[in-house]
Amino acid sequence: MALRFEVLGRFNRARAAQLTLPHFACQTPLFMPVGTQGTIKGLTTDQLEEIGCQIILGNTYHLALRPTSELIDELGGLHKFMNWPRALLTDSGGFQMVSLLHLADITEKGVTFQSPVDGKPMLLTPEESIQIQNRIGADIIMALDDVVRTTITGPRIEEAMYRTLRWVDRCIAAHKRPHEQNLFGIVQGGLDPVLRDICVRGLVDRNLPGYAIGGLAGGEDKDSFWRVVAQCTAALPEDKPRYVMGVGYPLDIVVCSALGADMYDCVYPTRTARFGTALVPEGVLKLKHNAMVNDTRPIDPTCACMVCKNYTRAYIHCLVTKDAMGSQLLSYHNLYYMLQLSRNLHSSIVEGRFPECYIIPDSNLCASRN
């Protein structure tokens, strides 16, 4: 194991912890921005450090295609390649193929897909996913899982859950750097509590350094989503990190943290920035709106970020959709907002103020979907 997980405070099921990884000691609850080609679009790694980002997600699938994991390995690993001294996490790649390439096909061997480079059929096996992630060198790597949408029902859910358990054994056997990289297993099983239970128990038996809850945020209703998170966090070990994949909106992170989850990743803050939307305590602010044309206030007068200290809504309104700087400034603010939310969750749990801070008055913290 290449991590230490120390719980610093609790409130009911919520916990605040220090997660010490090979490249950085992170505070949880923890939001992880998502990078694509070894970058968070529009931000430098200095800016990411400045806003207090502790760990970022690299996209195995994109990196494996370009510049390739062999080249990253040859150039000294992804930390060095992208000039990021803090922690990194890579996902296994299968989920991205299934969600991006609708032509992906899953068999017991692995995920077959058409190469977006030359259209040739390619196969990503659990062994290959781990080999690629070993070459990239992130602090946390993810097992290859068989992901099905939660809106599907029937035997496919059960098949995917058992296959995920069989694949995790192939991932464990293929992992060459367990003292430098932490392999997390992923709980699947759709919305079925019996299947989720079998999967959690199976993964806990494998004694991995951390666990993720997968297959969520795929169109299920909030009630079902929270029920699965609550069931999994209750059954996972107290002394290991719990990561809810692909989540989420500010409200989701608050609720999942109350349920005992520790880590999150989502493209939402950066994606919504590119559409001209800022995250603010009241919900969202649409910078494209005509009301912004002569508004001299900052995006959020209560925000301490560089963008809110230096620029007006009117200026960002003028840039948005016209110049890359518009979405860069909005991404900066939005990530700062999510990281500040994580820091507030951490300190409010440590200081015993969690319920006062997060008993949510009507729309507060609740980002509307756009």
Catalytic residues: 91, 265
User: 240 vs 317, which CB is nearer to ligand GUN?
Assistant: 240
Residue 178 contacts residue 141 (beta carbons within 8 Å): no
User: 22 vs 248, which CB is nearer to ligand GUN?
Assistant: 248
User: 92 vs 328, which CB is nearer to ligand GUN?
Assistant: 92
Q: Which residues bind Zn ion (CB under 5 A)?
A: 303, 305, 307-308, 333
Contacts of 128 (CB under 8 A, 6+ apart): 110
The structure tokens listed for 58 are 């690299």
333 interface partner picked from Zn ion, ligand GUN, none, CB below 5 to 8 A per type: Zn ion
Residue 124 to residue 132: CA distance in whole angstroms = 10
Chain center to CA of 352: 26
Listing DSSP states for 28-83 in one string gives: ESEEEPBPSSSSBTTB-HHHHHHTT--EEEE-HHHHHHTT-HHHHHHTT-HHHHHT
Residue 337's φ and ψ, nearest 5 degrees, are -60, -45
Residue 326 contacts residue 319 (beta carbons within 8 Å): yes
Residue 361 to residue 192: CA distance in whole angstroms = 32
305 interface partner picked from Zn ion, ligand GUN, none, CB below 5 to 8 A per type: Zn ion
Nearest approach in angstroms of CB 336 to Zn ion is 5
Give the residue carrying structure tokens 């989720």: 196
**Beta strands across the sheet bearing 25-28:** 4-11, 14-20, 25-28
92 interface partner picked from Zn ion, ligand GUN, none, CB below 5 to 8 A per type: ligand GUN
Q: Would you give the DSSP letter of residue 213?
A: E
Binning the chain into helix, strand and coil, the percentages to the nearest 5 are 40, 20, 40
Nearest approach in angstroms of CB 144 to ligand GUN is 7
Residue 160 to residue 174: CA distance in whole angstroms = 20
Nearest to 321 by CA among 286, 295, 291, 296: 286
308 interface partner picked from Zn ion, ligand GUN, none, CB below 5 to 8 A per type: Zn ion
Q: Which residues bind ligand GUN (CB under 6 A)?
A: 91-92, 94-95, 142, 145, 147, 186, 214-215, 245-246
User: 126 vs 214, which CB is nearer to ligand GUN?
Assistant: 214
Residue 260 contacts residue 13 (beta carbons within 8 Å): yes
140 three-state secondary structure: strand
Residue 290 to residue 272: CA distance in whole angstroms = 18
